[in-house]
Amino acid sequence: MQIIRVTDEFEALKPAAQLIRQGGLVAFPTETVYGLGANALQGDAVANIFKAKGRPSDNPLIVHISDLNQLEEIVSHVSEQAKLLMERFWPGPLTLIMPKNENIPDEVTAGLSTVGVRFPKHPAAQALISMAGVPIAAPSANTSGKPSPTTAQHVIDDLFGKIDAIIDGGNAEVGLESTIVDVSGEIPVLLRPGGITYEQLCETLGEVALGQSVTEQLSSNITAIAPGMKYPHYSPNAQVVVVKGENEAIIRYINQQIKNQHSLGKKVGAMVYNQVLPAILHADVLLSLGDIHHRSSAAANLFSYLRTFDEQGAEIVYAQDCGESGIGLAISNRLNKAAGYEIVEVNS
Ligand code: AMP
Ligand code: MG
């Protein structure tokens, strides 16, 4: 397995592009998270992605392009809404679901009649796709169920020896997977929130419906603890509890829980915003999500922090909620899943 560091000229990416063309698996940086790529036109190569990740085969992948001219061989129709979104947000962290072209093997789409397409902004991702000369199908480059990788080291930790190459391009900028919008029907539907916000989509398109997984999250968000609803998603080994409410109440609650958990002999982690952080006492692992009014650093660090808590042996982690406006919808979506929807609302 090769580890290739990105240089300015992208010359170093040639062998990786060659591997893709030959049916190999290459992990590569994007602005969202690291992807695990294969030639999207080669079903057996794509099938190996599922093996390497331990990913259920009914979970479709996203096809990555580096040029709008590639769309023709991937989709059979581009709607007006799709065009508007492409103009405004491509290249960028937005995946569009469109009717698929018959060239696209079933392994990519899990047999669906639609395909997800994204034009990433990351220069190394663009260079790799261009050099390979084929669209690249890729999910996130993690072991299925683990937090998505935002550094090459995360990919090494999960997939070393199981894939052909890893391109190291430093930290992923956005840190959360792409926003997914289904533009194959009459009304566009937000299937997964991400770096392009729901508000931005509505500004561009007017009406955008919320997909089932997003509305479920919003309704189950209202109150406390839904035990047993453990989602096999973004899951660290530690138990994660999301705490929402006013700062004062959050501080009191988390400090009390730290005491309680310590008396049970447990190692406790906390990740909170700067407005709360100095008042959290005695956590064994305490990580800052940054300023609550500028949550891009929370987005960028979330997955990495979930892995850090495991490395440091935290058994239970208290995480401050950040609301659902703007990028908050995407952060809450991942965090609530990581917590298996164990959400505590605290009040003064
Ligand atoms: P990942 O990048 O690992 O999160 O995986 C790609 C995501 O895109 C998954 O959540 C898929 O469910 C979603 N996806 C890909 N293709 C489609 C499609 N045709 N329809 C709906 N969702 C899709
Ligand atoms: Mg994933």
Q: Which residues does 228 contact at the CB level (< 8 Å), separation at least 6?
A: none
pLDDT band at 234 (very low <50, low <70, confident <90, very high): confident
CA gap 123, 70 in Å, rounded:
17
C-alpha distances in Å from residue 215, one per residue of 165, 194, 218, 324, 333: 38, 15, 5, 12, 10
Q: Max alpha carbon distance in the chain (Å)?
A: 62
Quick one: tokens of 174? 């956005």
Ligand at shortest distance from the CA of 114? 1
pLDDT at 219 > cutoff 90: no
Partner residues linked to 136 by β-bridges? 39, 64
The CB-side HSE value for 75 (13 A sphere, CA atoms) comes to: 24
Residue nearest to atom 17 of ligand 1 (CA): 116
| Model confidence pLDDT, tens digit, residues 286-311 | 999 999 999 999 999 999 999 999 99
What local confidence, expressed as pLDDT, does residue 317 receive? 98
Distance 278 CA to ligand 2 centre (A): 33
Distance 58 CA to ligand 1 centre (A): 10
pLDDT band at 229 (very low <50, low <70, confident <90, very high): very low
Distance 276 CA to ligand 2 centre (A): 30
Q: Is 60 in the pocket of ligand 1 (CB under 6 A)?
A: yes
CA gap 186, 283 in Å, rounded:
50
pLDDT band at 232 (very low <50, low <70, confident <90, very high): low
* Best mutation site among 180, 217, 333 for ligand 1 pocket (most ligand atoms within 8 Å of CB): 180
Distance 249 CA to ligand 1 centre (A): 38
Which residue is listed with tokens 């952080």?
Answer: 277
What local confidence, expressed as pLDDT, does residue 223 receive? 42
What local confidence, expressed as pLDDT, does residue 205 receive? 97
Q: Is 109 in the pocket of ligand 1 (CB under 6 A)?
A: yes
Distance 35 CA to ligand 1 centre (A): 12
| Model confidence pLDDT, tens digit, residues 90-140 | 999 999 999 999 999 999 999 999 999 999 999 999 999 999 999 999 999
What's the mean pLDDT in 260-287?
Answer: 98
What local confidence, expressed as pLDDT, does residue 225 receive? 37
Q: Is 299 in the pocket of ligand 1 (CB under 6 A)?
A: no
| Model confidence pLDDT, tens digit, residues 15-52 | 999 999 999 999 999 999 999 999 999 999 999 999 99
Ligand at shortest distance from the CA of 211? 1
What local confidence, expressed as pLDDT, does residue 236 receive? 87
Partner residues linked to 268 by β-bridges? 316
CA gap 146, 96 in Å, rounded:
24
SS3 144: coil
Is the model more confident about 231 or about 157? 157
What local confidence, expressed as pLDDT, does residue 347 receive? 86
305 in Cβ contact with 335 (< 8 Å)? no
The whole-model pTM stands at 0.94
* Best mutation site among 50, 59, 176 for ligand 1 pocket (most ligand atoms within 8 Å of CB): 59
CA gap 113, 216 in Å, rounded:
25
Q: Is 40 in the pocket of ligand 1 (CB under 6 A)?
A: no
| Model confidence pLDDT, tens digit, residues 64-81 | 999 999 999 999 999 999
Q: Is 107 in the pocket of ligand 1 (CB under 6 A)?
A: no
pLDDT band at 218 (very low <50, low <70, confident <90, very high): low
What local confidence, expressed as pLDDT, does residue 214 receive? 85
pLDDT band at 278 (very low <50, low <70, confident <90, very high): very high
Q: Where are the alpha helices (DSSP H) in the chain?
A: 14-21, 43-53, 80-89, 106-109, 123-132, 152-159, 198-205, 212-220, 247-263, 296-311, 328-338
Q: Is 194 in the pocket of ligand 1 (CB under 6 A)?
A: no
Distance 109 CA to ligand 1 centre (A): 8
Distance 61 CA to ligand 1 centre (A): 5
CA gap 16, 14 in Å, rounded:
5
| Model confidence pLDDT, tens digit, residues 155-213 | 999 999 999 999 999 999 999 999 999 999 999 999 999 999 999 999 999 999 999 88
Ligand at shortest distance from the CA of 146? 2
Number of the ligand 1 atom closest to the C-alpha atom of 142: 3
What local confidence, expressed as pLDDT, does residue 220 receive? 52
pLDDT band at 9 (very low <50, low <70, confident <90, very high): confident
* Best mutation site among 32, 55, 61 for ligand 1 pocket (most ligand atoms within 8 Å of CB): 61
